[in-house]
């Protein structure tokens, strides 16, 4: 009996099935017709989610991946369909999130001729992907799909795009469905071979530290090294601060936790970075948001940098010891060589800072975002999966919604993509249907991707969309107030719709919060509502600013813990 004949698209979908792909998020179109047809003709476990925009599809796949560590697939058509994925791909690339993007493409013989809906997406995406492919032979589709999955999920993860011309996907497949990978330039297994020399030198430096700090980043989460990190910290009695993306790799309620550091991190985390004599960085790339002024960062400290990506070494900061490798493997080796340190007076100093500079907010004079987030934290017991957009609400959420476990905090860090939070929450809810998922968004970012309300409603996903609505682009307004003589320019979002009525138009439940006293009871109602998505519109005051703050490019010791009394010079750093 001969095997039924497949076309290229069917071979592609069958390969994705065998790779264990659970979800494809996407939007159809002409050049992707054969692949969409294969979704109907190839049996398997893949579920397809039709989004309302290709950017939303990427953020959903991204949210799925950040909530599970597993990749999802994005499937879109050529030209504008492919072009609309760029922001979503860039967001995943900047934050090392695995993703496979399949784009339909014009037929091979029309490439380069400005054919209808032709775009050189292979060329366009090159700077924002870990790798990409333009498929030129039907029989290579299974190999390329397997290679894409392998590249996306190993080493430092990232998005991989496969551009599939329509003639390639609809031609007969006559090749091998289980081909070997052919990637001579890619060897992620080397990350598990750790040079003992670096481990020994690190252990020696650690043994002499009196004021150590562990800086833990996203790499700990990706490598699932949370337990090893806990062992390291508790053995050494060493405080731990995490990056924005590292929230959850070390419980923020633990007594050794300093919370998040950086531009809007806790005062005690930033003070610890200034005063410490050892920075032990595990899986963070020393992003410009956390080091401030590179020349002054860690000036009095030894620095140990553990990272899987050699190109992160000496990029922002010159460490005393470089250890290149998988965080879990490195920490297992390091934990064998360390002994407890005497850190009690250092911890007492930091406890003093915790008492002197706590995260706080006022409850008088209108509703503040901090209060909403604080009460959300209390009501959910810190157990919810929280996604965010970008801006003031994001920083307050990072400060006030403490995260105790990995894969529960989903925020666009490197790219700083507004519009990320809500679609990412859809992906997270599909991935983990039994968890409470809250999309914390601002009124600006929410309006960039709220067309996905239809997607959430259709799938009856109990996502809570918490719109912290100050009718402003608050973070930009804060900068204009502090550094541009309070000249507001391009930040007033007058003309916002009534978000509750808009939700109702999609058949979605809506709640309003207008007064500080109403926060708890309205949030509780929303948390108890699980018949589908709901929108909670919280009307917040516009004049509140986020502190602590380290102006861009300033040193960590120049942190502002309260509004400055004098006019500030314009920051020298980026944004």
Partner 1 sequence: MSRDIVTSDSSLAPSPDIIGGHTLSMFVNNQPGVLMRICQVFARRAYNLDSVVVSRGRDPQFSRLTLGISGDPAGLEQIINQCNKLIDVIHCFEHDENESVTRELALVKVLIDPGDRAEVLQILEHFGAKTVDLGTTSIIAMIYGNSGKVDAAVHLLSKFDIVETVRTGKVVMARGEAAT
Q: Choose between 127 and 495: whose C-beta lies nearer to partner 1.
A: 127
Cite the active site residues: 54, 116-117, 166, 475
The answer to whether 126 contacts partner 1 (rule: CB under 8 A) is: yes
The answer to whether 110 contacts partner 1 (rule: CB under 8 A) is: no
Structure tokens at 66: 């950040």
Q: Choose between 300 and 314: whose C-beta lies nearer to partner 1.
A: 314
Q: Choose between 58 and 152: whose C-beta lies nearer to partner 1.
A: 152
Among 123, 352, 433, 563, binds partner 1 (CB under 8 A): 123
Q: How far apart are CA 506 and CA 335, in angstroms?
A: 53
From the list 8-16, 44-52, 122-130, 228-236, the region that binds partner 1 by CB under 8 A is 122-130
Q: How far apart are CA 265 and CA 141, in angstroms?
A: 46
From the list 280-288, 305-313, 328-336, 382-390, the region that binds partner 1 by CB under 8 A is 305-313
Q: List residues bridging with 560 in a β-sheet.
A: 549
Q: How far apart are CA 202 and CA 302, in angstroms?
A: 10
Q: Choose between 82 and 269: whose C-beta lies nearer to partner 1.
A: 82
Query: Which residue do the tokens 């309070």 mark?
Result: 486
Among 310, 416, 516, 553, binds partner 1 (CB under 8 A): 310
Q: Minimum Å distance from CB 334 to partner 1?
A: 23
Helix (H) or strand (E) holding 288: helix 288-291
The answer to whether 130 contacts partner 1 (rule: CB under 8 A) is: yes
From the list 42-50, 166-174, 177-185, 442-450, the region that binds partner 1 by CB under 8 A is 177-185
Q: Choose between 315 and 432: whose C-beta lies nearer to partner 1.
A: 315
Q: How far apart are CA 99 and CA 149, in angstroms?
A: 8
Per the omega criterion (within 30 degrees of 0), is the bond before 548 cis? Answer: yes
Q: Choose between 134 and 439: whose C-beta lies nearer to partner 1.
A: 134
Q: How far apart are CA 134 and CA 145, in angstroms?
A: 11
Among 23, 36, 64, 122, binds partner 1 (CB under 8 A): 122
Q: Minimum Å distance from CB 147 to partner 1?
A: 9
Q: How far apart are CA 248 and CA 221, in angstroms?
A: 8
Q: Minimum Å distance from CB 112 to partner 1?
A: 11
Q: DSSP readout, 467-505?
A: EEE-SB-HHHHHHHHHHSTT---S-B-TT---HHHHHHH
Any residues with CB less than 8 A from the CB of 383 and at least 6 apart, and which? 408, 435, 436
Q: Minimum Å distance from CB 257 to partner 1?
A: 32
The answer to whether 315 contacts partner 1 (rule: CB under 8 A) is: yes
Q: Is the dihedral of CA 390, 434, 533, 401 positive or negative?
A: negative
Any residues with CB less than 8 A from the CB of 160 and at least 6 apart, and which? 99, 100, 101, 129, 130, 131, 132, 133, 148, 149, 151, 152
The answer to whether 524 contacts partner 1 (rule: CB under 8 A) is: no
Structure tokens at 400: 């006030």
Q: How far apart are CA 445 and CA 563, in angstroms?
A: 25
Q: Minimum Å distance from CB 558 to partner 1?
A: 25
Binding to partner 1 by CB under 8 A, coded x per residue (else -) over 143-162, reads: --------x-----------
User: How many residues line the site for partner 1 (CB under 8 A)?
Assistant: 18
Binding to partner 1 by CB under 8 A, coded x per residue (else -) over 185-214, reads: xx----------------------------
Question: Contact positions toward partner 1, by CB under 8 A?
Answer: 122-123, 126-127, 130-131, 134, 151, 183-186, 309-311, 313-315
């Amino acid at each position: 009996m001969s095997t039924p004949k497949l076309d290229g698209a069917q071979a592609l979908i069958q390969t994705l099935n065998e790779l264990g792909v659970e979800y494809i998020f996407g939007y159809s179109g002409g050049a992707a017709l054969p692949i969409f047809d294969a979704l109907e003709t190839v049996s398997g476990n893949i579920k397809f989610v039709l989004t309302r925009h290709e950017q939303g599809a990427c953020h959903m796949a991204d949210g799925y991946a950040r909530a599970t560590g597993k990749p999802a697939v994005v499937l879109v058509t050529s030209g504008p369909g492919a072009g609309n994925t760029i922001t979503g791909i860039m967001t995943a690339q900047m934050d090392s999130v695995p993703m496979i993007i399949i784009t339909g493409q014009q037929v091979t013989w029309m490439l380069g001729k400005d054919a209808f809906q032709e775009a050189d997406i292979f060329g366009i995406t090159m700077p924002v992907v870990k790798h990409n492919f333009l498929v030129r032979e039907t029989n290579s589709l299974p190999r390329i799909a397997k290679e894409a999955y392998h590249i996306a999920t190993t080493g430092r993860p990232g998005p991989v795009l496969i551009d599939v011309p329509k003639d390639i996907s609809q031609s007969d497949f006559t090749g091998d469905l289980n081909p070997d990978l052919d990637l001579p330039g890619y060897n992620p297994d080397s990350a598990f071979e750790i040079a003992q020399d670096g481990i020994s030198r690190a252990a020696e430096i650690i043994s002499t530290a009196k004021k150590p700090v562990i800086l833990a980043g996203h790499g700990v989460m990706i490598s699932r090294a949370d337990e090893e990190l806990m062992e390291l910290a508790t053995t050494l009695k060493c405080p731990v601060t995490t990056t924005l993306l590292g929230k959850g790799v070390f419980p923020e309620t633990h007594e050794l936790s300093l919370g998040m550091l950086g531009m809007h991190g806790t005062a005690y985390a930033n003070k610890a970075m200034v005063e410490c004599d050892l920075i032990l960085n595990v899986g963070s790339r020393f992003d410009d948001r956390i080091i401030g002024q590179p020349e002054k960062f860690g000036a009095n400290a030894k620095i140990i940098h553990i990272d899987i990506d050699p190109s992160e070494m000496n990029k922002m900061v010159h460490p005393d010891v470089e250890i290149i490798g998988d965080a879990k493997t490195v920490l297992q080796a390091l934990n064998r060589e360390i002994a407890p340190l005497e850190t009690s007076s250092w911890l007492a100093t930091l406890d003093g800072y915790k008492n002197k500079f706590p995260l706080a907010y006022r409850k008088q004079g209108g509703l503040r975002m901090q209060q909403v987030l604080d009460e959300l934290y209390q009501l959910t017991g810190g157990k919810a999966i929280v996604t965010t957009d970008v801006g003031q609400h994001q920083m307050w959420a990072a400060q006030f919604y403490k995260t105790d476990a990995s894969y529960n905090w989903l925020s666009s860090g490197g790219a700083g993509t507004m519009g990320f939070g809500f679609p990412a929450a859809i992906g997270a809810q599909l991935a983990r249907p039994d968890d409470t998922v809250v999309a914390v968004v601002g009124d600006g970012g929410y309006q960039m991707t709220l067309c996905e309300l239809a997607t959430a409603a259709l799938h009856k996903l109990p996502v809570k969309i918490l719109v912290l609505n100050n009718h402003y682009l608050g973070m930009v307004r804060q900068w204009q107030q502090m550094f541009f003589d309070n000249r507001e320019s391009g930040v007033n979002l007058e003309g916002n719709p009534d978000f509750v009525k808009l939700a109702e138009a999609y058949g979605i439940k809506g709640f309003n919060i207008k007064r500080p006293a109403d926060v708890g009871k309205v949030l509780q109602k929303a948390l108890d509502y699980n018949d589908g998505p709901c929108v909670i519109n919280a009307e917040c005051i516009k004049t509140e600013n986020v502190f602590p703050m380290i102006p861009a490019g300033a040193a960590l010791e120049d942190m502002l813990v309260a509004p400055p009394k004098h006019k500030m010079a314009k920051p020298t750093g980026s944004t």
